[in-house]
Structure 1
Amino acid sequence: MMKFAKEVIRPTHFEENPNTSERQRNLRQIFPGAIGALDGTLVHAIVSADQQTRYRGRGRGECYQNILGICDFNMLFTYVWAGWEGIAHDARVLTKVAFSPTSGFPFPPRDKYYLVMLLMPTRVVL
C-alpha cells in the first residue's frame, strides 16, 4: 500500500487555487497561511497472532493501524503514512514520520503551516 501511495498521492503546490469554493475561501481567511489539515486515524487491521498486542486498539480489543494523513483545502490527500501500531499516539507517529529521512514528509514552506489536531491525554483530579 505504501508503494502505491507514493505513486498516487502527491503533494500539491502550495499556491492558492483560484477555483476554490466560498467555504474554502472563508477557511483561508480564518487560517491565513494554512495549506491543509494533518491528522491521524485508526483503521481496522488484520495482523498475525504474535503482533496483535501491539495493534490492539481501545474498545472492543480489535486490531488497528494508525494512519497519518494530510489533506489540502480541496479535500484531496497530499500525503499518507500507514503502518503504525494501533496503540501508538498521534503525536509519536507525527514526530517519527516527520523526522524520518525515508518518509518523504512534505514540510510546508516557511510562511505556511498545516492545521493539526492532536488530542493529548489529560488527567482529571476530583
Structure 2
Amino acid sequence: MDFVGKFYLGDVGFMLKHELIILYRGVRYHLKEYARRGPENEKKLFNLHHASLKNVIERSFEVLKKRFAIITSGTELHYDFETMTEIVLACFILHNILMGVDPGPHLIAQVDRELQDNNPKEDEIVRHEQDEDYRRRSMLRDEIATQIWADYQLGL
C-alpha cells in the first residue's frame, strides 16, 4: 500500500483532520518498554512509530530554537511564510554543519531535559466531534497501522 502525501503529526489533544495524523487514544505506548519486548498489536506499534517521529521533530526544532534566535524572535511573524520556511531550512543546514565542528552536547542535553519536563499527559485530551474528515483520517491511520504491523511481522 502506498501512502502518498505529507502529513502533520499531532498530539491526542488535536482532532484527527485532513493531513493531520494523531495517536490512537487510550492505547498506551512506552518507548522504554519496547526496548525489551516488541509491541503487542498494530495500534501500539503505530503509536510507537508516531511518538518516535514526533520526538525527533520536537527535539530538532527545540535545538534549532536554542541555537538560532531568529526562529524564536518574538511572537509576531516578521517574514512571510515562504521566507520563514527558507530561514528554517537554512538554520537546519547551518546546524548540521556546526554539528561537525561543535556538536554542542550541553545544548542537546538541555533540550532533552526541557522536553521531558514539558511532556503533556494523556489526561489532557481535548474531545472532538465525529465528522466525515475524522472518519477518513481514522481509516487512513488504520491502513497505515495495518501496513506497518504487516511489515513488522515480516521483519522489515
For the pair shown, the structure with the greater C-alpha radius of gyration is: 2
Which fold has the larger relative contact order, with Cα–Cα distance below 8 Å and residues 6 or more apart in sequence? 2
Q: Could you say which TM-score interval applies, normalised by the shorter chain?
A: under 0.3
Tell me the TM-score normalized by structure 2.
0.22
More strand by share: 1
